[in-house]
Amino acid sequence: MTEPDAILRTGRKFDQVLEGAREVFMADGFEGASVDDIARAAGVSKATLYSYFPDKRLLFMEVATTECTRMADRALDLIDQARPPREVLTLAAGQIVPFLLSDFAQQVFRICVAERERFPELGRAFYASGPEMGRNRLMEYMTEAAARGELVIEDVEMAAEQFSELCKAKLWVRAVFGIQRRFSPEEIDDVIANAVDTFMARYGA
């Protein structure tokens, strides 16, 4: 049985446990988060918590995966795959940029980097549910848009990676190094507009 298979994802308190864990991990980090504090924040007993997650690493990975999946699902709900690239990419960047700058994404990124030597599976799980999932969904759209003649792309994987990196321009590195913690809508919109303009200048038909 694999580690993800060890998680019991049924029961009325599952979401309660996840929300409590999210709160504690974001406040204390992975190493500083105690099972006692998570159980208290979730309003459950330690026995109940362990019945869902026998390992703290599994709990953290589930929290990160759930949050990334929510973001991806929100983006998909907004995006019509048949719409033109500029419109779709603006909507996609409008989800990606704020998420990258969010307290959650920043904290998870720091935790994954801090724990990468001891628990490399944490980083792998976050990468798979976050950057990799986002890249794959961008690739799906770009492939369809290229087939319609709306984009001219030879390497779709590289193009999707480049668009993701454009969404990190200017503000993400400031957030990572703690230079700036809050970003105005105008600053975020500027990054979004420049990401789309740059991408379309390179790959627009």
CATH number of the domain residue 137 falls in: 1.10.357.10
Kindly report, residue by residue over 188-204, the tens digit of the pLDDT. 999 999 999 999 999 99
Give the integer Cα–Cα distance in Å for 78 and 148.
21
Give the integer Cα–Cα distance in Å for 84 and 117.
43
- Give phi and psi for 115, each to the nearest 5: -100, 10
Higher pLDDT, 56 or 144: 144
Kindly report, residue by residue over 157-186, the tens digit of the pLDDT. 999 999 999 999 999 999 999 999 899 999
Q: What is the pLDDT of residue 10?
A: 66
Q: 32: domain range?
A: 4-203
Number of separate domains in the chain: 1
Tell whether the model's pLDDT for residue 11 goes beyond 90.
no
- 51 pLDDT tier (thresholds 50, 70, 90): confident
Report the predicted TM-score, pTM, of the whole model to 2 decimal places: 0.79
